[in-house]
Structure 1
């Protein structure tokens, strides 16, 4: 069972702790996370937007509670979407999408951009990264939390991840993170959201897929952003 992802084993984030985090909405309801790349560009997962019309999507930046307005929120409709031309819904390869906003965000301490790693940069196994989102808090759960949550997970090597999922399932454009014994992971509703290096604050991954959530022996699989640096810059500058 391949699940779209959520935070398991984490804690509530502080308000605006992750100013680059956005909530992607479909017809007003939260469906995925995303990251602010520029004031008018969002990075998310292609599987979040695949088959969904631009007109039905919108984003909220500066969000903390999904139900209570703090006054820090900024809203925008989507002008266009660019899913990676080689995205595969079967294998989840190249699971990345750029959303162009119809109205640019006003950047401040509570709504701000995330930086990208260099093209081809590798993140060492053991590097601690933080993943955030409003996804469900248990494997198979359907209720999403109201408050943004976060969890710290270490990067694992491609070889270790392939031992779990099979040699052909984990491609060079993917990166894995989590614990062999499970207990902490992203989950349904976190998809498209950020995996950020705690040391450098670079956007290492986009929440993509996994088997279960925080299940022993299976890691969270993310789109490896460094693999797509040039693709992002070529479209969004």
Structure 2
């Protein structure tokens, strides 16, 4: 279906969001399902991108078509592409330099609102079982509290060293009502542009080095990106916060003039039951909670 020149899809699958021979999105032929907090099987997340700066892993991203990667704006101190490279596929089988870094024009580094960026690659990548684009949630999508999602990344695993194997964890969406209530205690505003996910008891999720990585959900056989890792670090009563991809449909399609990424409507089951009270919950800020230092932060100078 085409709406105002933008490709939008309603499942079921299989489907293609572009004229053939471009591939379908959100397909992970080698994904055998997820176990929270475990190493991934090779090829499970073929859209996962590692962003390197001067030879060091700094952030994550997601491949959304053959020429573009979606990530977080806070990964970059400027739009200068010098020193940056994008690693994709099995054992980083394809490394590509970005030709452009485009930050959302309303990104606020103090509040982390509109924390989203696009990288244009200097050459199209070849799709394989290990390199595939992810579908993006469109602005008609719903991610109700309790919706199961997955986070992937190479960030910290209770250790100063990042793992050499991509990590994955299953985690539920936390409704913006209770997420906003919790973060108000440390003077952080959760906006409609954000989506929260995580276990309120903490201990499972992403951390430094996972900035910009995808939060994804599965609908049928199709994987759809709901969020981009922005801030949080698996502290008790502090869900992780992601930029809500569906709110940026217009900006993404305006920025990517041709071969636009697939937009898919993700519909949660039931109704939103989280109206947002956190009575009796009193999280105590620590050295890594957002009231002091945001744990997901740009690691490059």
Distance 2:101 2:217 in 1: 26
Distance 2:226 2:37 in 1: 19
Mind listing any 5+ residue stretches in structure 2 that lack a counterpart? 1-35, 261-301
Greater shift, 89-98 or 160-169, is seen at: 160-169
Q: Relative to structure 1, is the Cα distance of residues 52 and 143 closer, same or farther in structure 2, using a 3 angstrom cutoff?
A: farther
Hey, what does 2:231 align to over in structure 1?
Answer: 209
1:16 to 43, 46, 69: 43
Please state if 1:228 is matched with 2:241: no
> TM-score normalised to the size of structure 1?
0.88
Distance 1:51 1:143 in 2: 26
Asked which structure has the greater CA Rg, the reply is: 2
**1:50 Cα shift?**
3.0
Q: List per-residue Cα deviations over 1:68-101 (Å, max 9, x = no partner).
A: xx4x611100100110000011000000000000
Please state if 1:123 is matched with 2:143: yes
Q: Secondary structure at the match of 1:89?
A: coil
Q: Secondary structure at the match of 1:55?
A: coil
Please state if 1:93 is matched with 2:113: yes
1:45 to 58, 72, 75: 72
Distance 1:17 1:115 in 2: 15
Q: Is the 8 A contact 2:179 2:190 kept in 1?
A: yes
Distance 2:50 2:43 in 1: 13
Q: Is the 8 A contact 1:129 1:152 kept in 2?
A: yes
Distance 2:49 2:89 in 1: 7
Looking at both structures, which has the greater relative contact order when contacts are Cα pairs under 8 Å and sequence separation is at least 6? 1
**1:142 Cα shift?**
2.7
Hey, what does 2:62 align to over in structure 1?
Answer: 35
Runs of 4+ with >6 A deviation: none
Q: List per-residue Cα deviations over 1:84-132 (Å, max 9, x = no partner).
A: 0000110000000000000111012110000011125221111100100
Please state if 1:108 is matched with 2:135: no
Distance 1:44 1:189 in 2: 12
1:149 to 138, 145, 167: 167
> TM-score normalised to the size of structure 2?
0.70
Mind listing any 5+ residue stretches in structure 1 that lack a counterpart? 1-8, 64-69
Distance 1:24 1:157 in 2: 30
Greater shift, 163-172 or 82-91, is seen at: 163-172
Task: Map 1:43-192 onto structure 2 (within 5 A).
Answer: 43-51=70-78, 53-63=80-90, 70=91, 73-138=93-158, 141-166=159-184, 169-192=189-212
Distance 1:111 1:147 in 2: 16
Q: CA RMSD in A?
A: 1.5
Hey, what does 1:5 align to over in structure 2?
Answer: none
Q: Is the 8 A contact 1:62 1:111 kept in 2?
A: yes
Distance 1:179 1:160 in 2: 12
